[in-house]
Amino acid sequence: MFFYRKFNLLQIELQKYYNNIDFKNDLGLSYQFLGDISLDLADWETTLNSYLEMNTIFKELYQNDRKNVKFRDHLAISCLKLADFYLMCSAVDEAKTYYFECQKHYSELVQNFPAYAKFQFNLQAVETRLQELSASGF
């Protein structure tokens, strides 16, 4: 955990001096890793904050370059991470909001890149979660 916090802080500092897309992308990924580790350690506040930062960064990157498939995929993943986290916390409305956003991104990715199995797998996983929520009355 210490390593990822240090790495994340380094990425933040580098981003200040080098307004570079690669640094920003790496910063988003470092928030993802920090969130994943925090989730494993049951540090809910750090998990949520990390996933929200990840989502914000990838949303900015995607809005600045809508043709970049990697940014779109990372944005969808950030939505999925947030949705799963909110569902785990029984915040169903928030979870559904992010699941629907994730579904939108993966639907378009699957439409544009039908041979890429990862997009199809992730879309199916999101749609399954939405069906389960619907079946349980949410």
Average pLDDT over residues 45-52: 97
Average pLDDT over residues 51-74: 96
Task: Say if CB 80 and CB 122 are below 8 A apart.
Answer: yes
pLDDT at 2: 62
Vertex 48 angle, CA 1 and 5, to 5° = 25
Q: Is the per-residue pLDDT at 5 higher than 70?
A: no
Domain count, the chain: 1
pLDDT at 54: 98
CATH number at 9 reads 1.25.40.10
Which has the closest alpha carbon to 82: 60, 64, 59, 62? 59
Average pLDDT over residues 5-14: 64
Per-residue pLDDT reduced to its tens digit, 71-127: 999 999 999 999 999 999 999 999 999 999 999 999 999 999 999 999 999 999 999
pLDDT at 20: 78
Instruction: Collect all residues with Cβ–Cβ distance below 8 Å to 65 and sequence separation of at least 6.
Output: 21, 71
pLDDT at 22: 83
pLDDT at 75: 98
- Token readout for 114 is 């039908």
Per-residue confidence band for 35, with pLDDT thresholds at 50, 70 and 90: very high
In terms of residue numbers, what domain contains 28?
A: 2-135
